[in-house]
Amino acid sequence: MANGFTGKILEIDLTDKEVKITDLDMEDAKKFIGGKGLGAKLLWDRTEAGTDPLGPENPLMFVTGPLTGLTAPTSGRYCVVTKSPLTGTFNDSHCGGFFGPELKKAGYDVMIITGRSEEPCYLMVEDGDVRIEDASELWGKTTTETTLALREKYGDDKLRVAGIGPAGENLVKYAMINIDTHLQKERGGQAGRGGAGAVMGSKNLKAVAVKGTGKPSPARVDEFKEVSGEAYRITREDDFVPNRTKYGTPIWINPMNEYGILPTQNFQRATFEDAENISGETMEEEIVEKDVSCFACPIRCGKHSVVTEGEYEGTRLEGPEYELLALLGSNCCMGDLNAVSKASLLVDELGLDGISTGNVLGWAMECFEKGILTEEDFDGLEPRFGEVKPYIKLVEMIANREGIGDLLAEGVMRAAEKVGEGSSDFAMHCKGMEYPGYEPRGSPGMGLAYATSDRGACHQRAWTVRAELEMDERFSAEGRAELVKETQDERAAAYSLVMCDFVPFGVDSFVDMFNAATGFDLSEEEYLRSGERIWNLARMYAVREGFDRKDDSIPERLKEPLPDGPTAGNAFTDEMFDEMLDQYYELRGWDENGVPKESKLKELGLEFSL
């Protein structure tokens, strides 16, 4: 453990109950960095076109990066990589907390789980001792119950646990993996997007518990100390970081509302009259109990909150984060912070991705209000926008696949295809993954970012909002392709290290820390080229699965003019979107159908054929 990597991969086959430890290919580590990039390479090598995401052969991989577990700002991060049951393509779901560093301390860069156990099981990883244990008593439990039961069993309140709730067991297509619990002093986390929880459930795997005693260290110790010390200094002195600490991600609710970018009423509007009630400022005043942090992070943007009045009094939770306030909040016209907090706790405890859940609920409410789905379809519920009771009940029904919850558990794309009657026009997704909390008619680069994101609609691959707010013409195609492409490449590299979105330092710090940790000597250009290589590899994965230009699309809803607020009248046209997409493909060196050209692949050292 002297170069940021442990050099070891832990492989567990749940069908044959076999455990083996293999060597990390250091050439791959150099080319693909770690985290997202290394995960993409492993997924490429270990699946083939048409692999069933919920079949035993689909690997579920916990992948750390060269900075995971070292002393550097936000170095607690890692990702879960698998083929997504929601989209049918590559998925990397990123997570903070303490699980990644613990996996490193146990001696592994990557943990790959394949196969399917006949009975519910969990994994106990204690350094070199890896056991597949019976989980029949854990099956059916919530994520917190699972973590606490395992901590009690092993007498260790610091045992790190990645577990699924009923949603993962029931193969809800957007089930997530929850890490640890909100009932602890530090931050937990979620591998939220893309249905990694369903992949885990399909393996009859309830949880993975990890405990390690090693100590990851960098290749060039003094140099690493110096460059990570500089990154800590920049973080401490940054002007915006105190706001992040005080309000967390919800700091963006009020500005997004003021700029006309806050999804409201299933993206029918982009301003919400009750935004202030669910804002970071109101949260801070009414429910936040304390700030919590991931491993080695000085930003401490996490919130532990408790509802202090009303029907949900006593509800304790981590968050809610911006995305849940936007999707479970304004997108469902839910201006009651206590109700949104209750729903946020439920999605974490039952193991659902809150972004997808908020979209599915918004779509279901619109279907109900338009008479496409009726009270009878909803087993007597009347899910109108802003109505608390049916909203809370539907979250539980989805996780348990009860009644209409069975349809909604398939995600908004499949549910709309089944229901028909024009409801696909307002099913907000790309490639099956539901839209995050930034309205593209207020920030058009986000439309391109969602359409071209490697894992389906995702705000983290290229968040163009801040840059677009500073542009002369906010609703225009101009310059968006460059902005999206450059951000995607830069983020692909950062998500491979793995670093958090919220650090205030730039590429130079990332490269300095990467080199000092690994002993490599990459230039900034080579590092960014790795990001481009990783992005193209993920694209080739999608191409191998049959995705192309037709899938890089925006929902019909975005072609309707927004009715009010500062972005009133904004609507995409096919011409505007095609212009952005053509420019983007050209910049990427892809053909007009969105397929990377051979020359581009060669230039990036990705010389393989389909």
Residues forming contacts to ligand SF4 in the complex (CB under 6 A) are 74, 76, 96, 187, 293-294, 297, 299-302, 500, 502
Q: Tell me the closest approach of the beta carbon of residue 38 to ligand SF4, in angstroms.
A: 20
Measured from the CB atom, is 31 or 105 closer to ligand SF4?
105
CA torsion sign for 171, 417, 377, 359 is: positive
Q: Tell me the closest approach of the beta carbon of residue 294 to ligand SF4, in angstroms.
A: 3
Q: Tell me the closest approach of the beta carbon of residue 496 to ligand SF4, in angstroms.
A: 16
Q: Decide if 498 contacts 67 (C-beta within 8 A).
A: yes
Angle, helix 507-518 to helix 524-544, in steps of 10 degrees = 90
CA dihedral 152, 154, 157, 163 (to 10 degrees): -80
Measured from the CB atom, is 302 or 555 closer to ligand SF4?
302
Which is nearest to 178 in space by CA: 157, 155, 156, 201?
A: 201
Measured from the CB atom, is 232 or 502 closer to ligand SF4?
502
CA torsion sign for 39, 446, 582, 193 is: positive
Q: Tell me the closest approach of the beta carbon of residue 594 to ligand SF4, in angstroms.
A: 32
Q: Tell me the closest approach of the beta carbon of residue 439 to ligand SF4, in angstroms.
A: 23
Residue at token pair 């379809």: 377
Q: Which amino acid is at 281?
A: E
Q: Tell me the closest approach of the beta carbon of residue 233 to ligand SF4, in angstroms.
A: 16
Which is nearest to 408 in space by CA: 88, 167, 111, 123?
A: 167
Q: Tell me the closest approach of the beta carbon of residue 500 to ligand SF4, in angstroms.
A: 3
Which is nearest to 542 in space by CA: 451, 605, 607, 603?
A: 451
Measured from the CB atom, is 47 or 344 closer to ligand SF4?
344
Q: Which amino acid is at 5?
A: F
Report residue 145 as tokens.
Answer: 């119950």
Report residue 261 as tokens.
Answer: 């970018």
Q: Which amino acid is at 467?
A: A
Measured from the CB atom, is 12 or 95 closer to ligand SF4?
95
Largest CA distance in the chain: 67
Q: Tell me the closest approach of the beta carbon of residue 253 to ligand SF4, in angstroms.
A: 17
Measured from the CB atom, is 460 or 476 closer to ligand SF4?
460
For residue 307, the Cα-to-chain-centroid distance in whole angstroms is: 26
Number of residues assigned to the chain: 610
Measured from the CB atom, is 109 or 291 closer to ligand SF4?
291
DSSP 434-473: EP-S--TTTSHHHHHHHHH-BTBS-SSS---HHHHHTSS-
**What's the Cα-to-Cα distance from 437 to each of 39, 120, 262, 294, 359, rounded to whole Å?**
26, 35, 6, 23, 10
Measured from the CB atom, is 130 or 299 closer to ligand SF4?
299
Q: Tell me the closest approach of the beta carbon of residue 65 to ligand SF4, in angstroms.
A: 13
Measured from the CB atom, is 187 or 342 closer to ligand SF4?
187
